[in-house]
Structure 1
Amino acid sequence: MRKLSGIFLVGLCVGAIGAVAVTIGHGVAEAPREIAVTEAVTTMSESPDTPSLSSTPTPSPSSKPSAKPESQGEVKADAAELDRLVAGGDVSVVVFDRQAGKTTVSVHADRAYTSASLVKLLIALAVLERGGPTQQVQKMLSRSDDDLASQFWSTYGGPAIVTGWAKKIGLTGTRPPADPGRWGDTRITAKDVVRIYQYVVAHAPGAILAALRAATERGSDGFRQYFGIPDAAGDRPWAVKQGWSCCRPTRMLHTSGLVGEDGRYVVAVLSEHPASVDYATASKRVTAVVAALLG
């Protein structure tokens, strides 16, 4: 297995975390050169001081027996180099090391983006907290099912889902959509996405992580959602929630999730592209950012 370089710790071995061992072909975009970090790093607590959604212990993400031990140490990332990989657009990256209990990469962490399907993480929390249908929630997450998200949105509170969970988890840059019916227009930041994952790992039912490990290659709308983390991770474990939307007026493409043995790293890469950049090109650019992180 290759050794990590770039933003993650040297020696990090990370591979596909699929619930029920999801197996994929990992076509990584053209490998960018390694990057050296210059932007200052911020620190988050691993477990926000928030009430537990469930008293049942949450299982850690599955891992492959072939993975090698991870090393200690920290590397940073160059914001200008990451920006270059998303030419003409914007990109934000936050990486949180759960083992070390600190943020190791923070690039444009507080820049706001349209959430697209990443808000489904908050919708899932809201539904499960109130005893909603677990299997349907898992389908909404693993297949990024918009119809189910719309049903849950209208049934479980709409914009109040965002405001309520933002307050509970401590999200500082997350806002409900201006149009109450358009859940995908929720505003969110990379820093907040990482905090959501921290909460999910510490407090949420294991059903959420199981669905993220079982993310399908194609979403319910047919879109290929293995860009970013899945395509760049090789044989490293992962559990992901992806997001994509267009064009109001730009194109959003986000990759987020847990990477590494026992879901050690929480990774959020949010990106915005001109509408003239098609999904195929934007997907390759987001994958290139993650490939740069993994080396």
Structure 2
Amino acid sequence: MRKLSGIFLVGLCLGAAGAVVVTAGHSTAASSQPIAVTELGTTTSAAPTPAPAPKTETKTQTEPPGSPAKAAPAAPARVDAAVLDKLVRDGEVSAVVFDRQQGAAIDSVHADRGYTSASLVKLLIGLSVLEQGGPVADVQRMLSRSDDDLASRFWSSYGGTSIVTRWVRKLGLTGTRPPSDPGRWGDTRITAPDVVRIYQYLLERKSNAALTALRDATERGSDGFRQYFGIPDAAGGRPWAVKQGWSCCGPTRMLHTSGLVGEDNRYIVVVLTEHPVKVDYATASRRVTEIVSTLLG
């Protein structure tokens, strides 16, 4: 068993959760209920990590890095929106399941809705650092344990909101925008199709450092929050890789699960949810897991 980090209770704030990837042999047994803690999602006073000079990126010969993935027309959704709406009751849900073998989304529910990203934006932060030759070990720790302090340092050192706007242009993201408060990276806005596109890019570019970090993720994030809700708890014996997100302290709280499921990373699954604060983390986590179970069938 991996050594788990301590629980850091933080006051009214916004945050997000870590990422995990396991193979079929990875234990998915649930431990204690999720702990109601959050990640700040803001820059810190720690000395920023100096950003090295950007390196020239290697472009593929088949298509430029910023080109959206070519896909066949989406198949009819297998899951009715009303079914997922019922699972979140008084909240909101968006979901996309993309089958990489078919090159199409086989489920798409409320895909145009926007949400606060919480820690899902760490995928873009990590990509920015890695592609500029930054410290690989620190990026892997940020992703595997969803470390907020490292995310804040990288956010400050590698461009802040320009991290988001750069990837919006590069990947052709249509529903993603930087936070209105430049210091609150967790307030970045996202949509489910844009998160799918980020995973496509990770796989296209064979971003091994990032993918390895996700495979080596701990069950709990650096703040003590249990990150195996959603995809991990619903995947059964299927291999999976995830990046999670959560936040609190407002009229609503976010709880997101996103990642890869199946042999050869066949499916990209993204579920974004928003719940009223009266719904505790344990209940919200169970609901997200039930949504993924429904999608995976």
After TM superposition, the score normalised by the length of structure 1 is 0.77
User: In the alignment, which residue of structure 1 is the partner of 2:177?
Assistant: 175
Residue 259 of structure 1 aligns with which residue? 261
Could you tell me how far 1:210 is from its partner in structure 2? 1.2
Structure 1 residue 24 and structure 2 residue 38: aligned?
Answer: no
Residues of 2 paired with 1:237 and 1:74: CA distance? Answer: 25
Indicate the SS of the match to 2:246: strand
Q: Which secondary structure state, in structure 2, belongs to the residue aligned with residue 105 of structure 1? A: strand
Task: Indicate the SS of the match to 2:279.
Answer: coil
Any idea what the Cα deviations from partners look like across 1:34-87, whole Å, max 9, x if unmatched?
xxxxxxxxxxxxxx95428xxxxxxxxxxxxxxxxxxxx986110011010001
Counterpart of 1:18, as a letter, is V
Shift of 1:250: 1.0
Aligned residue number for residue 141 of structure 1: 143
Q: Give the structure 2 partner of residue 35 of structure 1.
A: none
Taking only aligned residues, the RMSD between alpha carbons, in angstroms, comes to 2.1
Q: 2:94, 2:109 within 8 Å by CA — same for their partners in 1? A: yes
The 5 A counterparts of 1:206-285 are 206-285=208-287
CA shift in 2, pair 1:174/1:25, >3 Å = same
Unaligned runs of 5+ in 1: 1-15, 30-47, 53-72
CA distance in 1, matches of 2:129, 2:194: 20
Which secondary structure state, in structure 1, belongs to the residue aligned with residue 291 of structure 2? helix
Output the amino acid matched with 1:51. Answer: P
Once the two structures are superposed, the pairs formed by residues 7-156 of structure 1 within 5 Å of their partners are: 17-18=21-22, 22-25=26-29, 49-51=63-65, 76-156=78-158
Amino acid at match of 1:168: K
Cα distance in structure 2, aligned partners of 1:159 and 1:182: 9
CA contact (8 A) 1:237 1:259 kept: yes
Q: How many residues align?
A: 241
Q: Deviations over 1:260-288 (max 9, x none)?
A: 00100000000000011111110000001
Specify the code of the residue in structure 2 equivalent to 1:103.
A
Aligned amino acid, residue 214 of structure 1: D
Q: How far apart, in 1, do the equivalents of 2:203 and 2:88 lie?
A: 30
Q: TM-score, normalised by structure 2?
A: 0.77
Identical counterparts, % of pairs? 69
Question: Any conservation in 2 of the 1:177–1:184 contact (CA below 8 Å)?
Answer: yes
Which amino acid in structure 2 is aligned with residue 174 of structure 1?
T
Asked if the contact 1:127/1:133 (under 8 Å) is kept, the reply is yes
Query: The residue matched to 2:175 in structure 1 has which SS?
Result: coil
1: CA distance between counterparts of 2:194 and 2:241? 17
Query: In terms of mean alpha carbon deviation, does 198-207 or 258-267 score higher?
Result: 198-207
Partner Cα separation in structure 2 for residue 278 and residue 241 of structure 1: 21
TM superposition shift of 1:215: 2.3
